[in-house]
Amino acid sequence: MNLIAGHWTPALSGETFARRNPADPDDVIGEFPQSGRADVAAAVDAVAEGAGAWAAAPADERARVLVRAAELLEVRRAELTAELVREEGKTPAEAAVETSRTPLNLRFYAAEAHRIGGETYQADSTLVYTWREPVGVVGAITPWNFPLNIPSRKLGPALAAGNGVVFKPSPVTPLTAQRLVEALLAAGVPPGALALVHGGAEPGAALAEDPRVGAVTFTGSTAAGRDIHRKVGPERRAQLEMGGKNPVVVLPDADLGRAARLIVKGAFGLSGQACTGTSRVIAPPEAHDALLERVVKLAQEHEMGPLAADFQLRKTLEYVRVGQEEGARLVSGGQRRDGRGFFVTPAIFAEVTPGMRLAREEIFGPVLAFQRAADFDEAIALANGTDYGLAAGIVTHDVRRALEFARRSRSGLVKVNQPTTGMAMNAPFGGIEQPFKEQAGPALMHFYTHQKTVYLSE
Active site residues: 241, 275
3-state helix, strand, coil in the chain (%, to 5): 45, 25, 35
Cβ 12 vs Cβ 36: under 8 Å = yes
Report, in Å, the least distance between residue 388 CB and ligand NAD: 9
Distance CA 206, CA 263 (A): 39
> Quick check: helix, strand or coil at residue 250?
strand
Cβ 109 vs Cβ 422: under 8 Å = no
Is 228 near ligand NAD (CB under 6 A)? yes
Report, in Å, the least distance between residue 222 CB and ligand NAD: 6
Residue (136 or 412) nearer to ligand NAD, CB: 412
Is 342 near ligand NAD (CB under 6 A)? no
Binding mask of the shown chain, residues 237 to 266, with x at each position contacting ligand NAD by CB under 6 A:
----xxxx----------------------
Residue (85 or 205) nearer to ligand NAD, CB: 205
Q: Which of 74, 457, 143 is nearest to 308 (CA)?
A: 143
- Footprint of ligand NAD on 170-209 (CB under 6 A): 170-171, 200-201, 204-205, 208
Report, in Å, the least distance between residue 333 CB and ligand NAD: 21
Residue (63 or 390) nearer to ligand NAD, CB: 390
Distance CA 450, CA 136 (A): 9
Is 22 near ligand NAD (CB under 6 A)? no
37: left (phi over 0), alpha (psi -120 to 50) or beta: alpha
Is 219 near ligand NAD (CB under 6 A)? yes
Distance CA 88, CA 69 (A): 22
Is 371 near ligand NAD (CB under 6 A)? no
* Total site size for ligand NAD, rule CB under 6 A: 28
Amino acid at 19: R
Is 221 near ligand NAD (CB under 6 A)? yes
**For the chain, give me the number of helices (H) and strands (E)?**
16, 21
Is 366 near ligand NAD (CB under 6 A)? no
| Alpha helices, DSSP H, located in 116-221 | 149-160, 174-187, 201-209
From candidates 54, 268, 349, 364, binder to ligand NAD by CB under 6 A: 364
Report, in Å, the least distance between residue 361 CB and ligand NAD: 11
Which listed range, 35-43, 162-170, 247-255, 449-457, lies at the site for ligand NAD (CB under 6 A)? Answer: 162-170
Is 39 near ligand NAD (CB under 6 A)? no
Is 138 near ligand NAD (CB under 6 A)? no
Distance CA 247, CA 379 (A): 10
Is 220 near ligand NAD (CB under 6 A)? yes
Is 112 near ligand NAD (CB under 6 A)? no
Is 389 near ligand NAD (CB under 6 A)? no
Q: 392 — phi, psi (to 5°)?
A: -150, 145
Residue (106 or 208) nearer to ligand NAD, CB: 208
Residue (161 or 270) nearer to ligand NAD, CB: 270
From candidates 33, 134, 139, 143, binder to ligand NAD by CB under 6 A: 143
Distance CA 300, CA 292 (A): 12
Distance CA 315, CA 199 (A): 21
Cβ 55 vs Cβ 163: under 8 Å = yes
Which listed range, 7-15, 115-123, 223-231, 375-383, lies at the site for ligand NAD (CB under 6 A)? Answer: 223-231
> Quick check: helix, strand or coil at residue 305?
coil
Label residue 276 exposed, middle or buried (CB < 10 Å: 0-12, 13-18, 19+): buried
- Footprint of ligand NAD on 275-314 (CB under 6 A): 275
Residue (222 or 449) nearer to ligand NAD, CB: 222
Amino acid at 316: T
Distance CA 273, CA 398 (A): 31
Residues that bind ligand NAD (CB under 6 A): 141-145, 168-171, 200-201, 204-205, 208, 219-221, 224, 227-228, 241-244, 275, 362, 364, 390
